[in-house]
Amino acid sequence: MKKILNGRVVENIEIADKVYRLVVNAPEAVRDYVPGRFVNVYLKDKSLLLPRPVSISETNGENMALIYGVVGKGTSEIAQYDMGDRIRISTPLGNGYQIGSLLQKMKRDHAMQDGAKAGVIGLVGGGIGVPPLLGLAKAIRKMQREAADDDKSNLEFRNLKTVAVLGFQREPFLEEELKEYCDEVLIATDEGNFGFHGNVLDLIGQNQIHADGYFACGPKPMLKALSTYCRERQIPVQISMEERMGCGYGACVGCVCKTQEKTDEGIAVAAKKVCKDGPVFYGDEVIW
């Protein structure tokens, strides 16, 4: 059930060109956190009616980090918030990544059937889609640690390797933070000024990354290309869809995407709300 909460700004700093990290103290919102979920930030300027959806990058204690790009009036207002300012957010919004579900598919479909072979998870992010992967990488690492402490736990968690493949136009961010939780972090830039010159799929090919499953977040062309790549290889991929949003909780039908699902009768096509039914879907569910 959606709630509107008051939080306090702990930090709001520019971490790359026009990309800000806003840390908000909001214990109740932190309790609702699942990697891949987002919050709506309500603006103080009442002429800007709609709240701005911002993905949650990670949580720490009672704080959550929201990373956003300054792209218009609303996000320009958010960039002005100072430490101690009050901020109104709604939570919990969206369905996040389902780590267990992807792992089950990897186990069923791929190389991990004996439970002892190391599986590889790819985290693929593009631009402002990179931040939610940090919280996701942390959650996967935590599961690995818990599995390592527990003899009876599934072996596949203990043997997982996590590779992040990140694409930026020009200026990378969160690379160091992701290195703490991933076995490998690879960077591509469109302009070639940093890391690999090209896109994330070319980088995956160049480094011969044979992941058994992927999680992704980023611009639609990247998600579409990765979904096609995964479909051709029968690799499961969960993608977090980027879509323009209005209400953020399923009321305005402003964020619909077409999906398909196999049923006993054939293929069922549906219109799903990215904010409420997603933003995370399996890549082969989405009709592009």
User: Nearest distance from residue 52's CB to ligand FES, in Å?
Assistant: 12
Contact 281, 241 (CB under 8 A): yes
Q: At what angle do helices 99-109 and 131-149 cross, to 10 degrees?
A: 70
Shortest CB 273 distance to ligand FES, Å: 5
Q: CB-wise, 123 or 275, nearer to ligand FES?
A: 275
Q: Rounded to whole angstroms, what are the CA distances from 160 to 10, 14, 89, 102, 207?
A: 34, 33, 35, 13, 18
Query: What's the rounded Cα separation, in Å, for the pair 276 and 251?
Result: 9
Supply the DSSP string of 230-244, one letter for each residue: HHHHT--EEEE----
Residues that bind ligand FES (CB under 6 A): 245-248, 250-255, 273, 275
Q: Residue 95 or residue 153: which is nearer to ligand FES going by CB?
A: 95
Nearer to ligand FES, 7 or 278 (CB): 278
Which of 181, 164, 268 has its CA nearest to residue 218? 164
**Nearer to ligand FES by C-beta: 174 or 245?**
245
Helix (H) or strand (E) holding 39: strand 38-42
**In the bound complex, what is the minimum distance in angstroms from residue 140's beta carbon to ligand FES?**
28
Q: What's the closest the beta carbon of residue 245 comes to ligand FES, in angstroms?
A: 4
Give me the sign of the Cα torsion angle 27, 28, 31, 33.
negative
Nearer to ligand FES, 175 or 243 (CB): 243
Min dist CB 97 to ligand FES, Å, is: 19
Residue with tokens 């096509």: 269
Closer of 64 and 245 to ligand FES (Cβ): 245
Using DSSP, state whether 85 is helix, strand or coil: coil
Shortest distance in whole angstroms from residue 65 CB to ligand FES: 23
